[in-house]
Structure 1
Amino acid sequence: MPLLAELDVVFLSRVQFALTIMFHYLFPPLTIGLSVVMVYLEGRYLWTGEAIYETAARFWTRLFGLNFAMGVVTGIVMEFQFGTNWAAYSRFVGDVFGSALAAEGIFAFFLESGFLSLLLFGWDRVGPKTHFFATTMVALGGIFSSVWIVIANSWQQTPAGHVLREHTVGDRTALRAEIVDFWAMVFNPSTVQRLTHVWLGAFILGAAFVMSVSAWYLLKGRHTEFAKRSFTGGLLLATVASIAQAVSGHFNAEMVAEHQPAKLAAMEGLYETRAGAPLYVFGWPDSDERRVEWGLAIPAGLSLLLHQDPSAEVAGFDRLEPIYGMPPVWITFQAYHLMVGIGTLFIAATLTAWFFYRRGTLFDQRWLLWFFVASVVLAMVANEAGWVTAETGRQPWVVYPTVVDGVATGGLRTADGVSESVQASQVLGSIIFFGLIYTLLGVLWLVLLNGKIQHGPDDGDHHDASGANIAERRHDIGMADA
C-alpha cells in the first residue's frame, strides 16, 4: 500500500502540473506572436502614415492586453507547484533554475512590464514613435522571457555545465546540480534548436489569431479594410514561420536522435533497431505487441532524414529501453504526428492563400477564409502537442541522464522528484479546486475576448480610418515626437 500511495502522488502531481501548464501555455506563445504583429502594424503606420494601420494596432493591442493578463495569472500557480509538489526536484535543479529565472526577471520581465503601461495606455499620451518604441520593447521582453524559460527546460532535456554535489537535507544527504560553467548551461546541446522551434510556433499562433479574427470580419462584411490589412500581415508572418518551422523541425529531430534517442524512438514508434528505418505518416503504436498498427510509413524515410543514408541504422527500444527506460510511446507518437500534420497543413494553406492573393481573389475564397477562422485552434493544438511530445518523450526522467559505458548516470527520475511530505488526497483536492478556478478563468477569457472581437476596432481611434490625408497624418506624427 505505501508503494501504491507513492505512485498515486507521483501520477496526480504529474496530472496537476500538466493541466496547469497546458492551460497557461495557451497564452505566452499567443502574446509573443501577437506582439510581433503589433510591431509590424505600428511600423507600417509610421512608414506610410496610413491611419488604418493605427486602427489595427490599437485593436490588437487591446486583445494583447487581455491575453497578457491571462498569461501572468495562470503562470503563478505553476511556479508554486515546484515547492509544493516537486520539492525534491526543486532541490536538485535549484541552482540551475535559480540563475535562469533570475536572468529572466532582470533582463526580460522588467523590460516587458516596464513598457507595458505605455503600450496599453499611452496611445494619446505619447507620440507615435515613442509608442512604437514601447511596443517593440514589450515584444522583445516577451521574447527574452521565453529565452530563459526555454534554457531552463532545455537543460533538463540535455544537461550541461554542471556537477552533482551532495548536500544535507535534515538528517539525509541528497544530490544537487550546481553550475560550474554558466554559458555551457545556457548553450546546452538543445537550447538553440528548441528556442527557435518555440519562437516559430509562437509566431504562427499569433499570426493565426490575427488571421482568424480578420477572416471572420471579412466573412461577415465588417471592418473590411482593417481586416484585409491585418489578414495580409498575419499571412506574411504565418507563411514565413510555417516554412521555417519545417526546417527547424528537421534539425530538432537530428538533435533529439543524438541526445535523446529514446524520445526519438517513441516519436516514431521504433521498437526494434532497424537499418532503413521507416518514417510514419500516421499509425497506432502497440507497446504490448511492440509494433505500429494500421500505419502508413515511408520506407527508409527516417534513416534518410536523420543520416542522409536510406540504409543507415536507427536505434530502437530493444537497445534503448535497458538504458533509458521506455516513455509513454502512444501519446508521444500521436502528439508528435499531430504537430507535424498541422504544421504541414499550415504550409499548404498559407501558400494556397498567396496563390489566390496574387490573382486578386483571396478574399473571395470563402472556404479558405473559414479555414483560417478555425486556424487559431489548430495552431494552439500544435503548440500544445509540441510541448506534450517534448515532456512525455523525456519520461521516465525529469532531468535526462548522460550515458557512460551503457549506463544512464546523473539524471533525476520523475518519481524521485516528488515532495516527500505531500499526500495523494491533498494533490487531488488541489486539482479539483484549481480545475474549477481555471474553468471559470477560461470562460471569463472567452467572454471578454468575444466581446472585444464583436465590438471590433474603433474608427474613432483616429481622425481618418480610410487611410486618406496621409501627408497630414505624417505631419502629425512628426509634430507629436518633436
Structure 2
Amino acid sequence: MDVLDLSRWQFGITTVYHFLFVPLTIGLSILVAAWQTAWYRTKKPEYLRLTKFFGRLLLINFAMGVVTGIVQEFQFGMNWSDYSRFVGDVFGAPLAMEGLMAFFLESTFLGLWIFGWDKLPPKVHLATIWTAAIGTNISAYFILAANSWMQHPVGYRINNGRAELTDIWAVLTNPTTLVTFPHVIFGAFLTAAAFVLGVGAWFLMRKKQVSIFRPAIRGALVVALVSAAGVSFTGHWQAQLMTEQQPMKMAAAEALWDDERSAGFSLFAVGDVENGRNHINIQVPYGLSILATNTLDGEVQGINDIQKRYEALYGPGDYVPVVGVAYWSFRFMIGFGMLAAGLALIGLWLTRKGRLPEGPWFYRLAILGIGLPFVANAMGWIFTEMGRQPWTVFGLMQTAAAVSPGVDITSVAITLVGFTLVYAILAVIEVRLLLKFIKLGAEEEPQAEPEAAPALSY
C-alpha cells in the first residue's frame, strides 16, 4: 500500500464509524421530542419516563458522534490537502453553514434541554428539544449538500486550478441533495425505530415495565414500517438520478458490462472483471430497467461502454470502480433494509389488538434487529463513496490527485492504527454506557403534577 491507499482506508474507517452514531441521533431526537410532546399534552407519566429514558441514551450517542465527527473534519487538511485546496471555496461553504447555524442549534438547545428540566417552564423546555432535533436534521442537510457536490458538482467555476463558488443556492438545491436528504432521514428514522424496538423487546422478554415499553415498541414498529417504505421510495428515485449522473456507479452496482435494454436486476453474479463479463448472473427480468428508467425496455449503460465514453471525454485511464465492492454493498444495503422492514411487519401483526408476542423468539430477533439498519446505512455509504471512484469530485478531480503531497506513509500508518484503536475503545465505552442506562430502566416519576418538569438525573 502507498499513502493514497492508507489515506483512503483511514478516511473510510473514520467516516463509516462516525455514521454509526449520526442516524440514531437524527431519528431518536425526533422520537424523544415526540414523547415529551405527548407528556406535555396528556400529562401521562409513561410518556415522561420514555422521554427521560431514551433521552439519556440519545445524549450518550450524541456525544460520541461529536467526538468522531471532529476527527473526520481534520483529515481534510491532514490527509487530503490538495482536495481541500481545490474545493475549499465550494465544499467549505455548506460545512461552515452547518457549524455556525445547525450545530449551534442542536448543541446549544440540547444543553438547555439537559440542564433546564427544573429551571425552564414546561413549554419552553419542550421547545428546546424540538429546536435541538430540528437543528440535527438541518445539520444533516448541509453536510449532505457538501457531499452531493462531490457526486454532482454545480454552482462553481474553475479559476487558476481551483473550484470557486458562484451560486450557493445551486449547491444547496442540488438535485442530488434533494433526493439524498430524505433517503438519509428515512434511514435515520428506521435506525431509531429499530433501536427503540430492540430495547423495548429486552424489557418485554423479561416481563418488566410492560406498560411503558409495549406502547413504545408498538409506535416504533409503525415508524419502522413507514420509514422502510420511505427509504424504498427515495432509494428508487435516487437510483434513477444516479443512472443519469453517474452511470458507471449504477453499472458497477449491477455488474452490467454492456449497454442493455430491458435489463434485469441481478440477484447473484460471479464476474470476470479482467474480461468484462459475468460467468453467472441470476436476474429478475426487466428489474434494472424499471429501477433505473421506470420502463420495461429502458436502456441502461454498461461498464465496458461507459469506460470507452469516459476515455473519450476525460482522457486515458481506468474509470471502473471496484465492481465487487459496489455490487455487494448495494445488495447488502437493500437486503438488510428489507430485513428490518420485514421484522417491523411481523411485529405489527404479533402486537395487534393489545397482544404481546408469545415466546422469546420475536424479542430475540428484535434485539438482534437493532443492528440491521446500522449495517444497511454503512453499506449504503460504502457504495456511495466507492462507486464514485476513481473520482473524488466526479468529473473534476480524481482521488489520486486529492491526497496530501507532504504526508509520508509512516505518518498515515501510525494515525490509521491509532484512530482504529481509539475508536475500538470508544465503541466499548459507548456499548457499556448504553447497557448501563438501559438496565436501569425507565425510572418511576412522581404522580403529583410538579410546577416544572423534573430534573434529568444520572
Normalised-by-shorter TM-score class: over 0.9
Structure 2 residue aligned with 1:382 = 376
Q: For residue 207 of structure 1, what is the amino acid of its counterpart?
A: A
- Tell me, yes or no, if the aligned pair for 1:398 and 1:414 is still in contact at 8 Å: yes
Give the 5 Å matches for 1:159-198: 159-166=153-160, 175-198=161-184
Is the partner of 1:364 in helix, strand or coil?
A: coil
Structure 1 residue aligned with 2:325 = 331
Distance 1:330 1:81 in 2: 27
Is the partner of 1:296 in helix, strand or coil?
A: strand
Q: In the alignment, is residue 458 of structure 1 matched against residue 443 of structure 2? A: yes
> How much does 1:26 deviate?
0.8
Q: For residue 345 of structure 1, what is the amino acid of its counterpart?
A: L
Listed one character per residue, the Cα deviations across residues 76-109 of structure 1 (whole Å, up to 9, x for unaligned) are 1111111111000001110012211111122201
Q: In the alignment, is residue 225 of structure 1 matched against residue 219 of structure 2? A: no
> How much does 1:373 deviate?
0.9
Structure 2 residue aligned with 1:4 = none
Distance 2:295 2:390 in 1: 31
Distance 1:39 1:363 in 2: 28
**Which of the numbers 24, 30, 37 marks the counterpart of 2:31?**
37
Distance 1:301 1:22 in 2: 29
Give the 5 Å matches for 1:19-34: 19-34=13-28
Is the partner of 1:267 in helix, strand or coil?
A: helix
Q: In the alignment, is residue 105 of structure 1 matched against residue 99 of structure 2? A: yes
Distance 1:105 1:66 in 2: 20
Distance 1:374 1:291 in 2: 38
- Tell me, yes or no, if the aligned pair for 2:14 and 2:72 is still in contact at 8 Å: yes
> How much does 1:253 deviate?
0.4
Q: In the alignment, is residue 243 of structure 1 matched against residue 229 of structure 2? A: yes
Q: For residue 446 of structure 2, what is the amino acid of its counterpart?
A: H
Is the partner of 1:311 in helix, strand or coil?
A: coil
Q: In the alignment, is residue 254 of structure 1 matched against residue 240 of structure 2? A: yes
Structure 1 residue aligned with 2:411 = 426
> How much does 1:52 deviate?
0.7
Structure 2 residue aligned with 1:467 = none
**Which of the numbers 57, 76, 81 marks the counterpart of 1:63?**
57
- Tell me, yes or no, if the aligned pair for 1:9 and 1:424 is still in contact at 8 Å: yes
> How much does 1:303 deviate?
1.2
Which ranges of structure 1 fall in alignment gaps of 5 or more residues? Answer: 1-6, 167-174, 402-410, 465-471
Query: Does the C-alpha gap of structure 1 residues 135 and 292 become closer, same or farther in structure 2, counting only changes over 3 Å?
Result: farther
Q: For residue 422 of structure 2, what is the amino acid of its counterpart?
A: I
> How much does 1:132 deviate?
1.4
Is the partner of 1:420 in helix, strand or coil?
A: coil
**Which of the numbers 79, 87, 92 marks the counterpart of 1:93?**
87
Q: For residue 136 of structure 1, what is the amino acid of its counterpart?
A: W
Q: For residue 316 of structure 1, what is the amino acid of its counterpart?
A: G
> How much does 1:364 deviate?
3.0
Which ranges of structure 2 fall in alignment gaps of 5 or more residues? Answer: 311-318
Is the partner of 2:376 in helix, strand or coil?
A: helix
Query: Does the C-alpha gap of structure 1 residues 379 and 476 become closer, same or farther in structure 2, counting only changes over 3 Å?
Result: same
> How much does 1:344 deviate?
1.8
The normalised TM-score by structure 2 is: 0.94
Distance 2:178 2:47 in 1: 34
Q: For residue 286 of structure 2, what is the amino acid of its counterpart?
A: A
Distance 1:445 1:307 in 2: 43
> How much does 1:216 deviate?
0.8
Listed one character per residue, the Cα deviations across residues 393-429 of structure 1 (whole Å, up to 9, x for unaligned) are 000000001xxxxxxxxx1000000011111111001
Structure 2 residue aligned with 1:345 = 339
Q: In the alignment, is residue 447 of structure 1 matched against residue 432 of structure 2? A: yes
Distance 1:97 1:447 in 2: 37
Distance 1:283 1:342 in 2: 19
Alignment RMSD, CA only?
1.9
Q: For residue 393 of structure 2, what is the amino acid of its counterpart?
A: V
Count of equivalent residues = 447
